[in-house]
Amino acid sequence: MNVVIVESPSKAKTINKYLGKDYIVLASYGHIRDLPPKDGSVRPEEDFEMDWSVDSRAEKPIKEIVNALNGAEILYLATDPDLEGEAISWHIEQLLHERDLLNNIDVKRVVFNEITK
């Protein structure tokens, strides 16, 4: 099984129709985490390490992604080809690494510039 992550649910639905049964296409619904709104989220004395927090709205999409990865061979990060999309893909991959969920799963970054059959 292969898992594809895009930003929007409508895009996920469309791409899922085209890719078929060997793929699960899910939406991240945008950003999944951010810097908490407090002082000390960035630590200059520790090589500018950052403390990230998961947005409460992101818990459901994260849970769906985690469940879909069970038995997956490849994770395709297919968020938009802009800075925001790159950040979303990076955060998804980092979060999954932190939770030790990407062992034996090949992670690839892909970009869709347009979606047509």
pLDDT per residue as tens digits for the range 53-97:
888 888 899 999 999 999 899 999 999 999 999 999 999 999 999
Is 37 domain-assigned?
A: yes
Q: What is the distance between the alpha carbons of residues 99 and 69, in angstroms, rounded to a whole number?
A: 12
Neighbours of 61 (CB within 10 A): 19
Q: How many helices (H) and strands (E) does the chain have?
A: 3, 8
- Split at pLDDT 50, 70, 90, the class of 112 is confident
Domain contains 115: no
pLDDT of residue 5: 97
Kindly state whether residue 85 falls inside one of the protein's structural domains. yes
Enter the pTM of the model.
0.86
Output the domain CATH number for residue 76. Answer: 3.40.50.140
Residue 14 domain boundaries: 2-109
Q: Report if residue 116 sits inside a domain.
A: no
Residue 35 in this model has a pLDDT that exceeds 80: no
Q: Do the domain assignments include residue 24? A: yes
Per-residue model confidence (pLDDT) at position 7: 92
Count the domains in the chain.
1
* pLDDT for the residue numbered 53: 82
